[in-house]
Amino acid sequence: MRPLIAVTATRTLRSSLRISNNAANEVAAITKPKKRAQSKTSSKKSSPSPQSAQVVPMKTATDSNGITRCSWCTNDPIYQFYHDNEWGNSPITDDRLLFELLCLEGAQAGLSWITILKRRQNYKDAFDDFDPSIVAKYTADKINQLIQNDGIIRNKLKIQSAVTNANAFLKVQKEFGTFSEYLWGFAPEGGPTAHLNEGNKCRAVSPESEAMSKDLKKRGFMFVGPTICYAYMQSIGMVNDHHVDCFLYPNKEKSQSD
């Protein structure tokens, strides 16, 4: 017969080993899923982000003259003129106009685009025709004056962002020669119509708009998230998202004659 102390010690040792083994199994069970999760995360880095894949439905509407347009411009003449003459039609490279549209896109954040378009001339008058060299020098008094202007969206942060962006804009000009030279470096490969196989859907963002947003933010720009940047790309003709049935869809006349 073994001494009681020895038996007790043996049982304690066996119990400790069982606890140790159970603990090891539990640790292994916990760590395995984590390893799988980490591998999934790392694999996503090489693919476009989920946000880049977002699309929004597109429709068309035909007016009384038989002209079919993207339906977002409704039957408002201001909206239709913008749709027919600016949106996604011709690449814009003029720095002053690029600055104007950048400011207007920022002002539009959280609002409808028609709200800004109807105030566009008021904005041009209030912001010295969007001359970045003038806007960059706006003082606190000038900003307070703009806040009282009921012809524009009187949001202090958005108004201040125009001044901030003007200064960042001038720095980019100094570095690249023109803002256009810098900006068009983000244009998608294949040109404005490279993605039009999406048919009746329009992206909300793209890998290019995400890259543009990231770089603009690093340079001190405000109100330049990926969605705003994609809308900006549309407005300056960097991408062309006219609906396949819209009369401005690229090569529409050619496709109708074929």
Q: What is the pLDDT of residues 173-209, one digit of tens each?
A: 999 999 999 999 999 887 776 555 455 566 789 899 9
Mean pLDDT of 220-241: 94
Q: Which amino acid is at 159?
A: I
Q: What pTM was computed for the model? A: 0.74
pLDDT of residue 255: 42
Instruction: Answer yes or no: are the C-beta atoms of 166 and 132 closer than 8 Å.
Output: yes
- Homologous superfamily assigned to 51-255: Hypothetical protein; domain 2 (1.10.340.30)
Better-predicted residue by pLDDT, 151 or 75: 151
Structural tokens at position 16: 């400790």
- Continuous segment of H or E residues that includes residue 61: strand 60-62
Q: What is the pLDDT of residues 125-182, one digit of tens each?
A: 999 999 999 999 999 999 999 999 999 999 999 999 999 999 999 999 999 999 999 9
Asked whether residue 2 carries a pLDDT value surpassing 80, the answer given is no
Instruction: Answer yes or no: are the C-beta atoms of 232 and 102 closer than 8 Å.
Output: yes
pLDDT of residue 64: 77
Question: How many other CB atoms are found less than 10 A from the CB of residue 216?
Answer: 25
Q: Quick one: DSSP state of residue 102?
A: H
Q: Which amino acid is at 57?
A: P
Q: Could you tell me how many residues make up the chain?
A: 258
* Phi, psi (degrees; rounded to nearest 5) at 45: -65, -25
Angle between helices 156-176 and 95-108 (to 10 degrees): 150
Any idea where the domains of the chain sit in the sequence? 1-47, 51-255
What is d(CA 71, CA 92) in angstroms, rounded to the nearest whole number? Answer: 23
Catalytic residues: 82, 105, 113
Phi-psi region of 153 (alpha: psi -120 to 50; beta: other; left: phi over 0): beta
70 is in an annotated binding site: yes
Q: Quick one: DSSP state of residue 83?
A: H
**pLDDT band at residue 26, thresholds of 50, 70 and 90?**
very low
Asked whether residue 7 carries a pLDDT value surpassing 90, the answer given is no
Instruction: Answer yes or no: are the C-beta atoms of 219 and 168 closer than 8 Å.
Output: yes
Q: Residue-wise over 37-69: b if at least 16 C-beta within 10 A, else e?
A: eeeeeeeeeeeeeeebebeeebebbeeeeeebb
Q: Quick one: DSSP state of residue 205?
A: -
Percent residues over pLDDT 90 in the chain: 53
83 is in an annotated binding site: yes
Residue with the two structure tokens 């049982």: 11
CA–CA distance from 143 to each of 15, 126, 135, 156 (Å)?
75, 10, 10, 8
Q: What is the pLDDT of residues 33-46, one digit of tens each?
A: 333 333 333 323 33
First to last CA, the chain: 103
Instruction: Answer yes or no: are the C-beta atoms of 133 and 171 closer than 8 Å.
Output: no
242 is in an annotated binding site: yes
pLDDT of residue 195: 58
